[in-house]
Homo-oligomer: A and B are copies of this chain.
């Protein structure tokens, strides 16, 4: 699950506001946990550490939509932003369980912390790993349920709360479907089509990271139905563009600039837009023999890269990303949206397009 760390939309003022909301939430939770026992406090501390350190991308989208559409109750917007941040934590903690990852953003995640505790206590690796994953299942449940509850704390009226819960519910409904399809892609043998990959990326990440935060911010601001629709559609399209660019950078990126390996996706045999496209080309015979080898060398990766370029997969993916970005630009130009909203989100478009060659 991708974290758009390089898309800065949350100003430091907004970041601080969301951080304050989350700080209060975790302080309260840790106090409650202390009444149960110190080990429960440790779990909450670990969950808190896994929620901090991000750029608050999703809250930034919520608050950008809200404020640019004239909203002035920044406390309410910060709560809705914090709800999306907790949803994000829940989803990545459980995504890491599914991918058996113990590391995120260069540090140990919840699973990693508890695996290490267990190893220190003398438990052998497979059991220690299982303990880490078990605790991460629990931690993700706590983040998820509290994400929903955070909306209750925004101090909005009954009807508004219901609408926001519906949007939030839709976000989780979509990402669960996307995660399901992603699990299918990674574990079943048949190759998905490009459309299926794009659909999975939309469901798994674009909805809850881009579309729903935009929609929630606009609804909270009391924007017209047409403005809400346009901004949500903007979010969906720029979110898909972002994910496709991410597929490209996962193979062709500049490791120094992105901080991401360009060999991981190939070693994993990840079903990306690049790979789904390439599977229909004559070069596929060459590509497929290297794909998914856990010990793929840099030289072999270079061969795969050249074949992906030769068959036009890279060009195809970059064009497709631009196509979705263009749709996002069109939506943002809607008469229903004020210039303030365009000014707010133009940098997001710029950042996505800057990442394409």
Query: Which residues of chain A have a CB within 8 Å of any CB of chain B?
Result: 32-33, 36-37, 39-40, 43, 90, 94, 97-98, 100, 118, 121-123, 127, 130-131, 134-135, 137-138, 140-142, 144-146, 148-149, 152, 158, 162, 165, 169, 172-174, 176-177, 179-181, 183-184, 187-189, 203
Interface of A is mostly: helix
Say whether, besides A152-B162, A184-B39, A137 and B97 are in contact (CB < 8 Å).
Answer: yes
Q: Which residues of the partner chain B approach A158 to less than 8 Å between Cβ atoms?
A: 158
Number of copies: 2
Within 8 Å by CB of A94, from B33, B137, B179, B184, lies B137
* Inter-chain contact A203/B97, CB cutoff 8 Å: no
Q: Cα distance A91–B220 when bound, in Å?
A: 33
Name the distance in Å between A176's Cβ and chain B's nearest Cβ: 5
Q: Which residues of the partner chain B approach A121 to less than 8 Å between Cβ atoms?
A: 188-189
* Inter-chain contact B188/A141, CB cutoff 8 Å: no
Closest 4 CB pairs of A and B: A98-B134, A40-B177, A36-B177, A148-B148
Name the distance in Å between A77's Cβ and chain B's nearest Cβ: 21
Question: By CB atoms of chain B within 10 A, which of A37, A90, A142, A180 has the most?
Answer: A180
Q: Cα distance A172–B139 when bound, in Å?
A: 11
Q: Which residues of the partner chain B approach A183 to less than 8 Å between Cβ atoms?
A: 131, 134-135, 138
Within 8 Å by CB of A172, from B39, B141, B152, lies B141
Contacts A138-B179, A144-B144, A145-B169 known; list 13 others, CB within 8 Å: A33-B177, A39-B180, A40-B177, A90-B141, A94-B137, A98-B137, A118-B188, A131-B187, A135-B183, A138-B176, A144-B145, A145-B145, A149-B165
